[in-house]
Structure 1
C-alpha cells in the first residue's frame, strides 16, 4: 500500500484493489473488499478461514462504517462518529472480523484489540493504574466484553470494565475518541453486568451491530 493509494493493498506480492480513485476520493467496491478480507483472513487465521455468505449483511455494515461511507451509513442509521459494539453468540466470528476490518483502511489509525478478561487480570495485579491506562486516549477494541470476572485488588472488588467504559465515555464526549467492543451478551445482560448508568453511556458511545442469535459456531 502506498500512502497516496490506500485502496491498493499488497499481500504476499498480490495486489488487491478495494476500489478506484476518483479525484481524491476512493470509490470502494464491496465485492472487492470481501475478496481481500477472505485472502487476508486466510493469511492471519489459516486456510480454513472463509467469509460466510450469511455474514455479508453484517460485513457490509462494518465496511461502510470503516471506510466512512457517510451516505450508506445514514441510510442504515450508523453513526461514523461512534464506536462499534459487535454482538452475537459464541463462535460467530466477532473477534476475527474486528481483527480483520482494520486492514481495509491502512491510512487510518489502527485500534488495539484486547480481551476484557486480560484487563481484569491486570487490575488484580496492578490495581487502579490499569483503569487509568485504558481510560487514556489510545484507540481500543475490548474483546469479549462481559465474560470477565469482577476485579479484586487488595480485597476490594471492582467492576473494572464498567469503570473503564465510563472513562472512555468521557473521552468520547470531550475528544471524540472512539471505543469498539465485541460481546456475547444482549442489552439486558449488559445492563445486569454493568448497571443502568454504564448501559446508557454505551448507547451513546456505540453503534450496535448484531449477528443473528442463530448464527452458527464457526469454530466447529
Structure 2
C-alpha cells in the first residue's frame, strides 16, 4: 500500500505531521505540536505552546483523534464537548480553533458570550435562534457576559444556550401502548447527537475556575455544564500576552 509523509505548509515552510497510508493518516503528537505552534501564530502572533500546557494538548489530541481506549482510561468522554478552563492569555481561543479546524470540523460558528449577552439584552432570547444547535459550535469566553435584562426580565444566557442544546439533541422518549419506545420530538435525527456520525457538540472556553463558575451560574447550571463538557484545566494561569508585553 502506498505510504508517504503527511505534510502541511505554514508560510511556505513544510511540517511533517505523520505518515499517510492509503486514505489513513497516522499523526505523531510531537510533530503536530510543532505545526500547531507555527499555525497558531497566524491567528495570534504572540501564540506559543508552554511545556506546562502539553498535558492539555495531549488530551485534546486523543479526544479529536477519537482514541476511545486512551480517552476512557483518562476519564474523557468522546461524546461530550470540550470546556477549556484557564486564565487570561493562556491561548484557549486559539487552541480551540487549531483543533476544531484541523480535525475536519469545518468552519465552525464562533460566538462571543459577551456579544451574545448584549444581543439578548437588546433583542431577547430570539437572538439565540441564530445558533444551529444541531451542529457543533464554539462559545468563547463564557462568564464574560453581563447580566442580561430584556424588558426588565433577567435572563441567564449561558443556561438558555445549554437548555436549547439539550432540547434539540436529547429529545424526550416515552413508552407507547405496545411497550415500545417512541420518539416524541421534532429533532432531526440526521443532524443531532442521536446520530453519532454527525455529532452536535459545544466547544467553549472560560476564564473562570470551577468554583467561580459555580458561584457565577449556580449549582444547576454547573451540573448541566458538567453533563455536556469534558472540562480541561490549564495547569498554569500564566498570561502569555503579558509575558510578551513591551514594558519600558
Q: 1:139 pairs with 119, 136, 141, which one? A: 136
Q: Which residue of 1 aligns with 2:185?
A: none
The answer on 1:82 being equivalent to 2:80 is: yes
What is residue 69 of structure 1 aligned with on the other side? 67
For 1:191, the equivalent position in structure 2 comes to 214
The gaps in structure 1 that reach 5 residues or longer are: none
Deviation at 1:134, TM superposition (A): 2.8
Task: Show CA shifts across 1:57-114 (max 9, x none).
Answer: 1111112112222232222121111100110122222122112222322x33343222
Gaps of 5+ in 2: 172-191, 194-199, 243-248
The TM-score, its normalising length taken from structure 2, stands at 0.77
Aligned length: 212
User: Which 4+ runs in 1 deviate beyond 6 A?
Assistant: none
Cα-to-partner distance string for 1:32-67 (whole Å, 9 max, x where unaligned): 101110110122212x32211111111111121122
- Write the deviation string for residues 5-51 of structure 1: whole angstroms up to 9, x where unpaired: 9x5433333343322124543211001101110110122212x3221
Scaled by the length of structure 1, the TM-score of the pair is 0.86
Aligned Cα RMSD in Å?
2.1
Distance change (3 Å), C-alpha of 1:215 and 1:195: closer
Matched, 1:202 2:225: yes
Greater C-alpha Rg:
2
2:85–2:208 contact (8 Å) kept in structure 1: yes
